[in-house]
């Protein structure tokens, strides 16, 4: 199995989605991830939405999604003993990840400057809403708040329906992937230089880079992107969403070759010889008329029929599916995008994500289920040389 991070230790002091998803990527690639959680409470997502019985048992599905392949250690960082134990762990680690509000890590004594004194070759990753600097860097936020800040809500939907939030917490997950990429890159750097690396990963930055072409276009032309409904980014009249006799079809015929294939596949070759649509420039001058012609023809068959016809003709097309439909698609099953796991001490089976790419044709899936809250506390403290009696005292004192 692909385990390039085997032998590396990650101290994971993150909560909710972005941070835990970043460390989940590292765990899938073989790193030992020790998740630090508050005794009795744990990550906020342990009590999260969905499957109330699981949430009430500190195994909420948002936590389970990115909790596999990790170890759980409970520490009360408001106690001196808890902080001391955290610092001992950091000294043994290769990577430290935290998503406190900027300034909190410094107050706890685990800022980059603090941590590199404990461990001069560590990768220190800070994940936050807006970054560690800037005029609003100290503000907290969640995915939907950053969606509002970054402008995506004003480009999603139609001009008369904005603002519209993207349905999934995509900024959280993009930030998690961004952080994982940064961490793996920094590991290579610190191995070359022998020096600690500080990483500053912001949700706002991640969200803006998901709109990189929009940023470039606006800053180069001064023309701001607007809500365009289900139209393609290319604004090609032969691309976008089309009504059919049953369902909606997404078509992407953005270049000359695809446009020619589309006209042939829908049985409208005369559209290619009409001078109004002779080339891309003319098509853009007469967009509405061409769009109406294509739409009228597409309306004669179902989306399922057109999906087959157009793809066979070399035109990218897909029937619009709801979430339940796509999760049952054979393509997703072939890709192995999720795997089944049985939660510890339960008969409950859950489906969790695998690594986002195959390696040598194989899926990289987690090998151990999400841990119970504090399920590895005794073992981890024992590895630090702490006796069972001392662990009992720490537990009685509310430290672990």
Shared-domain flag, residues 347 and 315: no
Per-residue pLDDT band for 49 (boundaries 50, 70, 90) equals low
- What's the pLDDT score for residue 234? 81
User: Is residue 229 situated within a structural domain?
Assistant: no
pLDDT at 336 over 90: yes
Distance CA 136, CA 190 (A): 30
Task: Pick the last residue of a domain from 320, 351, 369.
Answer: 320
Shared-domain flag, residues 288 and 384: no
CATH number for the domain spanning 366: value is: 3.40.50.10540
Shared-domain flag, residues 59 and 163: yes
In this prediction the pTM is 0.95
User: Is residue 34 situated within a structural domain?
Assistant: yes
- What's the pLDDT score for residue 56? 80
Q: Is 172 assigned a catalytic role?
A: yes
95, 179 Cβ separation under 8 angstroms: no
Distance CA 311, CA 128 (A): 42
- What's the pLDDT score for residue 348? 85
Task: Pick the last residue of a domain from 288, 320, 352.
Answer: 320
Shared-domain flag, residues 357 and 294: no
Mean local confidence (pLDDT), 227-241: 88
User: Is residue 375 situated within a structural domain?
Assistant: yes
Q: Spell out the residues 6+ positions from residue 319 whose beta carbon is closer than 8 angstroms to its own.
A: 247, 248, 249, 250, 303, 304, 306, 307
- What's the pLDDT score for residue 284? 82
Catalytic residue among 143, 172, 205, 376: 172
Question: Reading across the β-sheet that carries 240-243, which strands appear in turn?
Answer: 240-243, 248-251, 317-319
User: Is residue 80 situated within a structural domain?
Assistant: yes
Mean local confidence (pLDDT), 333-359: 95
How far CA 171 is from CA of 16, 165, 210, in Å, comes to: 13, 11, 9
Cα 109 from chain centroid? 29
Mean local confidence (pLDDT), 352-367: 98
Shared-domain flag, residues 173 and 73: yes
**Burial track 250-264 (b if 16+ CB lie within 10 A, e otherwise):** bbbbbeeebbbbbbe
pLDDT at 50 over 80: no
Three-class SS string for 22-68? HHHHHHHCCCEEEEEECCCCCCHHHHCCCCHHHHHCCCCHHHHHCCC
Shared-domain flag, residues 145 and 100: yes
pLDDT at 63 over 90: yes
User: Is residue 1 situated within a structural domain?
Assistant: no
Distance CA 239, CA 126 (A): 41
pLDDT at 130 over 80: yes
With a pLDDT cut of 90, the percent of the chain lying above it is 90
363, 355 Cβ separation under 8 angstroms: yes
Average pLDDT, the chain: 96
User: Is residue 352 situated within a structural domain?
Assistant: yes
User: Is residue 222 situated within a structural domain?
Assistant: no
Q: What is the pLDDT of residues 186-202, one digit of tens each?
A: 999 999 999 999 999 99
H/E segment holding residue 199: strand 197-202
Longest dimension (CA), the chain: 88
Shared-domain flag, residues 91 and 169: yes
Number of domains in the chain: 2
Shared-domain flag, residues 156 and 14: yes
Q: Spell out the residues 6+ positions from residue 120 whose beta carbon is closer than 8 angstroms to its own.
A: 194, 195, 196
214, 207 Cβ separation under 8 angstroms: no
Mean local confidence (pLDDT), 148-174: 96
DSSP state of 168: S
Distance CA 182, CA 174 (A): 12
Distance CA 145, CA 232 (A): 26
Q: Residue 194 belongs to what domain range?
A: 9-210+334-396
- What's the pLDDT score for residue 233? 82
Angle (CA) 74 76 78, round 5°: 165
- What's the pLDDT score for residue 52? 75
Shared-domain flag, residues 96 and 244: no
- What's the pLDDT score for residue 202? 99
- What's the pLDDT score for residue 278? 84
CATH number for the domain spanning 310: value is: 3.30.1540.10
Shared-domain flag, residues 44 and 123: yes
pLDDT at 235 over 90: no
H/E segment holding residue 149: helix 143-150
Task: Pick the last residue of a domain from 260, 292, 320.
Answer: 320
pLDDT at 128 over 70: yes
26, 35 Cβ separation under 8 angstroms: no
Pair of tokens at residue 17: 């989605």
User: Is residue 4 situated within a structural domain?
Assistant: no
Shared-domain flag, residues 51 and 19: yes
Shared-domain flag, residues 192 and 114: yes
């Amino acid at each position: 199995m692909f385990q390039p991070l085997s032998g590396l230790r990650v101290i994971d002091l993150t909560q909710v989605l972005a941070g835990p998803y970043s460390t989940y990527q590292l765990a899938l690639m073989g790193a030992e991830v020790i998740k630090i959680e508050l005794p009795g409470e744990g990550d906020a997502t342990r009590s999260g939405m969905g499957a109330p019985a699981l949430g009430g048992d500190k195994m909420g599905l948002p936590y389970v999604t990115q909790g596999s392949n990790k170890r759980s250690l409970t520490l009360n960082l408001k106690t001196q003993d808890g902080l001391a134990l955290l610092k001992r762990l950091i000294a043994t680690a290769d990577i430290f990840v935290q998503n406190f509000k900027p300034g909190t890590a410094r107050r706890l004594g685990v800022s980059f400057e603090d941590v590199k004194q404990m461990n001069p070759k560590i990768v220190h990753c800070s994940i936050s809403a807006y970054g560690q600097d800037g005029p609003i860097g100290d503000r907290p936020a969640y995915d939907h708040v950053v969606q509002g800040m970054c402008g995506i809500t004003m480009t999603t939907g139609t001009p008369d329906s904005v603002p519209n939030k993207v349905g999934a917490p995509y900024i959280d997950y993009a930030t998690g992937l961004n952080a994982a990429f940064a961490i793996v890159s920094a590991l290579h750097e610190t191995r070359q230089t022998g020096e600690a690396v500080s990483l500053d990963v912001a949700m706002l930055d991640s969200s803006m880079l998901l709109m990189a072409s929009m940023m470039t276009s606006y800053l180069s032309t001064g023309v701001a992107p607007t809500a365009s409904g289900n139209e393609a980014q290319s604004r090609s009249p032969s691309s976008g969403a089309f009504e059919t006799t049953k369902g909606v079809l997404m078509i992407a015929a953005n270049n000359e070759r695809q446009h020619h294939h589309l006209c042939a596949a829908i049985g409208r070759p005369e559209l290619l010889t009409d001078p109004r649509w002779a080339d891309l420039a003319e098509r853009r001058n007469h967009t509405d008329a061409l769009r109406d012609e294509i739409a009228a023809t597409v309306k004669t068959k179902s989306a399922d029929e057109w999906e087959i016809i157009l793809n066979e003709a070399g035109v990218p097309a897909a029937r619009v599916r709801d979430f339940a439909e796509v999760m049952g698609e054979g393509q997703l099953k072939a890709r192995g995008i999720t795997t089944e796991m049985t939660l510890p001490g339960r008969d409950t089976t859950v489906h969790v994500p695998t690594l986002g790419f195959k390696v040598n044709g194989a899926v990289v899936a987690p090998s151990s289920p999400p841990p119970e809250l504090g399920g590895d506390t005794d073992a981890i403290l024992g590895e630090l040389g702490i006796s069972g009696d001392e662990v009992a005292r720490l537990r009685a004192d509310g430290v672990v």
